[in-house]
Amino acid sequence: MTVAAEGSPPLRMTRVRRNALLQSEPVQGFALISPTFLYALILLVLPILVVIAHSFWTQHYLTIDRTFTLENYRVALAEPIYRDLLWRSLYISLTVSLFTVVLAYPIAYFISFHGGRHKSLWLFLITIPFWTSYLLRVMSWKVILGYNGVLNSGLMGLGIIDEPSTALLYNSSAVIITLTHAWAAFAILPIFVSLEKVDRTLVEAATDLGDGPLRSFLRVTLPLSAPGVISAALIVMIPTVGDYVTPKLVGGKDGVMIANAIQAQFGKAANWPLGAALSVTTMLIVSLMAGATVLVIRTLQRMAR
């Protein structure tokens, strides 16, 4: 009884002091600051701190030459290493576009003219592999074309080669094969849409007038589906010029493309002006090539008529 009586006053004093503290103005003012306000304050202050840090770093550790010059464009166009990489990228892109369209057209033609009521199913099956990650598909081709990969093992099992070949991977051919597979569906779909718009009565009329299957295809079906072919070629050609992942994984030193050089300038070399010049130069050349491709195909289309 004595101990409890003696211990009660400090407990009552503690509660009194706590209530008085909670009712004080500084604590009540702090309680009015909501978490949302604090979060907004952080978002406002953090960019300012980043800008201040960047300015401090630039002034004390970096020297930026802001003089207007075209020297970087001269380097991008005149230096043999960048010129060769650009031409290699254009060659790979055009080759991939050609192979992709050549492989995609028969598939799209079969689905459009012979798919019947299963057209949607065929298109669904074509798009299934492209649900997976682009990186996983590139790595799959790396496994297939590798030294101990599926292709080498199959050729050795058939007795065609005695030992695994090193010529299948880490070269421009591996890049072309991988990119052709990666962009196949993007070529099939526009060609299929263009073939669906071909009037079947025109094909029947050509047959009735004595044209065989090949002649009616060349004179009717192919010219009418030319817009889809042009679209497929451009859809494949333009992105593949700037592809970075595929040359990095399966290209090796013989399959390096201009995008890898641009990444190196923005990364390890820390030469952003040259990287920007390479990017703009590549973009302009690709635009000119795309326009020239459209003009050539339309000219051939007029000549065929």
- DSSP codes, 113-166: HH-GGGHHHHHHHHHGGGGS-HHHHHHHHHHHHSTTSHHHHHHHHTTS-SS--S
pLDDT of residue 41: 62
Please state, in angstroms and rounded to a whole number, the distance separating the CA atoms of residues 229 and 189.
10
Helix pair angle (71-78, 272-304), 10° resolution: 60
Is 146 in contact with 163 (CB distance < 8 Å)? no
Across the chain, mean pLDDT equals 81
pLDDT tens per residue across span 132-183: 888 888 999 999 998 888 888 888 888 888 888 888 889 999 999 999 999 9
Residue 9 pLDDT more than 80?
no
Report, as an integer, the average pLDDT of 279-288: 90
3-class SS of residue 172 = helix
Report, as an integer, the average pLDDT of 115-121: 87
pLDDT tens per residue across span 76-90: 888 899 999 999 999
pLDDT tier at 294, thresholds 50, 70, 90 = confident
Is 141 in contact with 171 (CB distance < 8 Å)? no
pLDDT of residue 3: 46
Please state, in angstroms and rounded to a whole number, the distance separating the CA atoms of residues 95 and 86.
14
Please state, in angstroms and rounded to a whole number, the distance separating the CA atoms of residues 233 and 187.
7
Residue 272 pLDDT more than 80?
yes
Phi and psi torsions of 173, nearest 5° = -65, -40
CA 299, distance to chain mean position in Å, is 31
Residue 297 pLDDT more than 60?
yes
| Cα angle 280-284-287, degrees, rounded to a multiple of 5 | 140
pLDDT of residue 57: 57
